Structure 1
């Protein structure tokens, strides 16, 4: 039996520049009708040069700390889920630590693509078992647009930038939200369906050579769709079953905000109405690891989540990775 784990505060931050479908029409061969029909997205946010991944993470982190009534000095660990960090080295978590005026506490990035936040949440849950006094800053922060090819209209319209953060605490510092359960999954055999190869040791940059499409998101959308729906539904059902629940017992489902078709297909698989599913992909787009914490923070702030509710989170990302978590408010 695991020790209790809690979420004591939440925060989100979006870049200052909103990008509508009309804006994208001026950048790439697309149209509002084409984007909305296939993705449900009408708006997203693009980070500018002075808004790298660490800056988005810092702003979300400060809001989460304020929400929890804590100061940066109260933290014991920093975990950042991202595929679009400021640099390969130093890690975004180390940059964030310095921005918060801290030294010494463990800080690392975790790469699980769009499942990054839930992977970090489960890692934090494990740490609080060992350290019940822990106060862990868990952040999902992405500048997806730094890895998007704006000549590929099938992918560039999907993504936006942003960050969401949570303060995760152990039994010594219980918070208002209890993490009841979580499950992580992965399958590297199909990782080639969603890739960013350029810059890795198997696809090394060569001084003086131009940057090619391999440095940006490349995706087999049809196959990714099928895997995403099946995997997210299955892991969600498994988490519910081992807690003696069904989807009917959950008050709200927050899936990764990939696109509206995937979200609707997951609802159908779980046999729930869309009134039970939180959607903000239309306003924010796919923000990868930031997707779940942004949506969770919004749902609490707007009153969509009330005390006493059970909330199911589910995500899917490149790797492939997928995950689910069950929260009790």
Structure 2
């Protein structure tokens, strides 16, 4: 038990990730879209992505990633489950209680967080708050999205980018000066630009009009050009703030774990921050843009393959619909069993 309330910090204690087995290649998409493997790779950096099979939902992804994170931590007990997602199993109720029950955690606090591709950063801030307040000693935070269920399969601009997957971390109460402790989580939004990334139909506004939605409004829509510009600007600024709050310089950052939106955005953010490619973690070529799952899945895979090791000073940053963005820092800890 950490007694000093003001000294409590959320510390990474476990990590896990999972993608569904169904793999979609660029050639698979080119078979029915006006595109090609070369066109997709040069514009997005993506070669393959994973999608849910018929009947599979976000909760299935979340359970697998959550179980792996709990196993990684060496302790299956948590006081809360926070699920960051844009694709809940259904509008009501939240998906997190279902995930908690399936993990044998029935009775703990469980709720969803919705901040699109920045959901994991918002979830980190939420979990850290639960721990700082003494509400929880240990929190399972999961980012999971079945984005292919809301993307128009005939829309080349989104169908080639978005994919499905889940990643999770276990956070425990600890001290701010120990490895794994989260730094300040910088968060921001700009609702005046909410139209840039949205699903127009299905919510209370469309339903209250008592009309059927227009064709295509049930699918995810994105203004790619403006989104690119804001993503680069907002992730860069948030990253600079987070690094300054940690008392670091950007040269101190060993590993950048940015939301895997597309390769061009990642390159632009790295250049703005002066963080070379060999210090950037990346899995977008193999898994695409997995929404709220992006960063925790990247952490899990990088930890597993050794590109992320204990002692690495890390910068995490994300951008998504809302518009919403965020960033934080930590020094990667030595996890149980690693």
TM-score (norm 1): 0.95
Inter-CA distance 308–101: structure 2 relative to 1 (3 Å threshold): closer
Aligned to 2:336: none
Aligned to 1:52: 57
Shift of 1:103: 2.4
Structure 1 stretches (4+) deviating beyond 3 angstroms? 205-211
Aligned to 2:283: 280
> Deviation string for 1:259-288 (max 9, x for gaps)?
000000001100121111111111100001
Q: Distance in 1 between matches of 2:84 and 2:309?
A: 27
Inter-CA distance 257–89: structure 2 relative to 1 (3 Å threshold): same
1:173-212, aligned counterparts within 5 Å? 177-204=180-207, 209=212, 212=215
Check the 8 A contact 1:82/1:112 in 2, yes or no.
yes
Q: Distance in 2 between matches of 1:228 and 1:209?
A: 33
Q: Distance in 2 between matches of 1:132 and 1:196?
A: 34
Out of 22, 33, 37, the residue aligned to residue 38 of structure 2 is 33
> Deviation string for 1:80-138 (max 9, x for gaps)?
00001110112110110221233221111110000001100111111111127511110
Out of 7, 16, 21, the residue aligned to residue 12 of structure 2 is 7
Out of 120, 138, 141, the residue aligned to residue 138 of structure 1 is 141
Structure 2 portions without partners, runs of 5+ = 1-5, 333-338
> Deviation string for 1:241-272 (max 9, x for gaps)?
12221211010001000000000000110012
Q: Which stretch of structure 1 is more off in the superposition, 199-208 or 272-281?
A: 199-208
Check the 8 A contact 1:82/1:110 in 2, yes or no.
yes
Q: Distance in 2 between matches of 1:57 and 1:133?
A: 20
Check the 8 A contact 2:256/2:314 in 1, yes or no.
yes
Q: Distance in 2 between matches of 1:199 and 1:257?
A: 27
Secondary structure in structure 2 of the residue aligned to 1:75:
coil
Check the 8 A contact 2:260/2:282 in 1, yes or no.
yes
TM-score (norm 2): 0.92
Q: Distance in 2 between matches of 1:128 and 1:102?
A: 18
Shift of 1:307: 1.7
Is 1:16 aligned to residue 21 of structure 2? yes
Count, aligned residues: 326
CA RMSD, 1 decimal: 1.9
Is 1:63 aligned to residue 47 of structure 2? no
Check the 8 A contact 1:8/1:176 in 2, yes or no.
no
Structure 1 portions without partners, runs of 5+ = none
Check the 8 A contact 1:133/1:171 in 2, yes or no.
no
